[in-house]
Structure 1
Amino acid sequence: MATWLITGCSTGLGRALAAAVLARGDNAVVTARDVATVADLADAHPGTALPLTLDVTDEIQIATAVASATERFGGIDVLVNNAGYGYRAAVEEGDESDVQELFATHFFGPVALIKAVLPAMRARRSGTIVNLSSIGARLSPAGSGYYAAVKSAVEGMTASLRKEVEPLGITALAIEPGGFRTDFAGRSLAQSAEAIPDYADTAGRRRKENDRVHGTQPGDPAKAALAIIAVVDAPDAPELLVLGSDAVAAYRSVLEGQLASLDAWRQLSESTDIDV
């Protein structure tokens, strides 16, 4: 029986994962900014669910959550940094305070949680850290520059973390989902207050008032939850797991384009070496 600490369990992938973890008999610390939104999960699994209030930008709440989880279950085996929301704006439109909040939620909060659980994981020489990213980090669509940036930061940090903790018996990996049928493109999507007309045909097409994606995404959150559990259980978990047929196709297309560009400019790239 493993103990999971999952952030952002009120809706979406976080809630689906918490439900799946509890259904298979594991312990789960189910967290949300409003703990009332996860009360039903706790009521259904009183012996194995611990509902906690957690705003990942609040370091005191992070410390309290980790301490409460340790007191109740003896330790945390799997940390899943899932909490977050979408943000759309042309780079020029992005409000500085909005961008700072985005990075606080998606990057600095997860880093604080990682730092909070690692000492005990190092002492046990076991544990898994799962950081949720997005195919947006690969695609970098117009209007998602800041979101792509913060998820790219998560992936880069996770890749380095993996190399640091792997010799200690700890696994770190990133999950890169495509479009899933959640509230991500609906209630959980924020955007800049200002819309500059010159960006109407690029970033503007993806503003909430113009986007028709919500409710049509191909991904099933319940199946994503089972996939995440499977990769955590796997002895050879990859550094990055892509979720969704749309994400796999998009990832492949981006990689092929990058390789083509690398080859096209290879001569100029290699011309910068010192002559010998």
Structure 2
Amino acid sequence: MAQQTWFITGVSSGFGRELTEQLLQRGDKVVGTVRDTGKIKDLVEAYPQTFFARILDVTDVAAIRALIDAVFADIGRVDVVVSNAGYGLFGAAEELSDSEIDTIIATNLTGSIQLFRAVIPHLRAQGGGRIIQLSSYGGQVAFPGNSLYHATKWGIEGFAESVAQEVAAFGIGVTIVEPGGARTEFRYGSAKVANLMPIYDNTPTHAFLKMLDPGNGLAAGDPTRMATRIIESIEIEPAPLRMVLGSQALQSTIDTLKKRIAGFEAQTELAASTDFPPNE
């Protein structure tokens, strides 16, 4: 396979780090963004010719545009863009602060939207490419105590699905990746928790506290295998719109969608009752 060039946001840990390591080991080039280069110093030293670390805070829209323009100008063709930067925020809606809400939306949703907008003109000009958006099976299902995280993932999935249809004519494929629980820092390190209120103790809303505690058992998802499947997906044509990674995530998604469809089908008469009568 010919060497390819990848642009990946958030490569200091989690899926971003795993993807980067596998790609570098197989001989690809990676432009990886971080907020602190100290966390990827080992990669910079080990792969001086193929790994290019760049500083980026995805909440800075101007910085996203400037960096993308510079990367395409300096490196030329970029085959795959991975929108990976993001984090989890847990707590009931009323437990979250305004600042926490603004920051997760700016990071997980607006940052990803602006990355798409910045790279599309370059991918179109070069005649194609692939965009991979890291989401979650939480972009299809919803649990208590995760409202703002779900808001960002449901939002970016709608955006990416629409954009996939807009850019297909230019040879640009879009894939939304929906991992289930995995043994990464997302769950066991970087997850943020609101200032919790005792009123929600012993309710489903605070059940996430058990999930975040590794003492209760680790997630089933293997980030190494998941990253491998993501890398393999770029060889699939046309690009798969969605990839669910993890058997529990897939079953939960299927069960949720079946219930949702049943709920819609039960409204057939209600929906029709709001139409104008025939011939009016």
The bucket for the TM-score relative to the shorter chain is: over 0.9
Alignment of 1:1-276 (within 5 A): 1-198=3-200, 200-207=202-209, 211-212=212-213, 216-276=218-278
Q: Which shows bigger deviation, 140-149 or 74-83? A: 74-83
Q: How big is the shift at 1:212?
A: 3.3
How has the CA–CA distance of structure 1 residues 199 and 128 changed in structure 2, closer, same or farther, with 3 Å as cutoff? same
- Alpha carbons 2:82, 2:134 under 8 Å: kept: yes
Residues in 2 aligned to 1:221 and 1:7: alpha-carbon distance in whole angstroms: 17
Are the counterparts in 1 of residues 173 and 238 from structure 2 also a CA contact under 8 Å?
no
- Runs of 4+ more than 4 Å apart: none
- Residue type of the partner of 1:34? D
1:30/1:38 contact within 8 Å kept: no
In the TM superposition, what whole-angstrom CA distance separates every residue of 1:72-107 from its partner, at most 9, and x where no partner exists? 421322111101110011112221111110010011
Q: How many angstroms apart in 2 are the aligned matches of 1:56 and 1:116?
A: 12
Distance in 1 (CA, whole Å) between partners of 2:153 and 2:212 is 21
1:205/1:211 contact within 8 Å kept: no
In structure 1, distance between residues paired with 2:166 and 2:138: 26
Q: What amino acid does structure 2 have at the position aligned with 1:49?
A: F
Which blocks of at least 5 consecutive residues in structure 2 are unaligned?
none
The one-letter amino acid of 2:104's match is L
SS of corresponding position for 1:184? helix
Contact 1:63 1:116 in 2 (8 A): yes
| Structure-2 separation of matches of 1:99 and 1:196 | 20
Q: Quick check: 1:181–1:218 contact (8 Å CA) kept in 2?
A: yes
Identity rate, percent: 36
State the distance in 2 between where 1:237 and 1:72 align: 27
CA distance in 2, matches of 1:49, 1:269: 55
Q: CA contact under 8 A between 1:133 and 1:175: conserved in structure 2? A: yes
Deviations 1:144-171 (A, max 9, x none): 0110011001000001100110001111
Deviation at 1:16, TM superposition (A): 0.4
Q: Partner letter of residue 156 of structure 1?
A: G
TM-score, length-scaled by structure 1: 0.93
The aligned amino acid for 1:151 is: K
Give the partner amino acid of 2:156.
V
Name the SS for the 1:268 alignment partner. helix
Question: Does the aligned pair in 2 maintain the 1:175–1:241 contact within 8 Å?
Answer: yes
Supply the distance in 1 between the matched residues of 2:202 and 2:143 (Cα, whole angstroms). 14
Mark the runs of 5 or more structure 1 residues left unpaired by the alignment. none
Residue 200 (structure 1) shift:
4.0
Normalised by the size of structure 2, how large is the TM-score?
Answer: 0.92
SS at match of 1:185: helix
SS at match of 2:163: helix
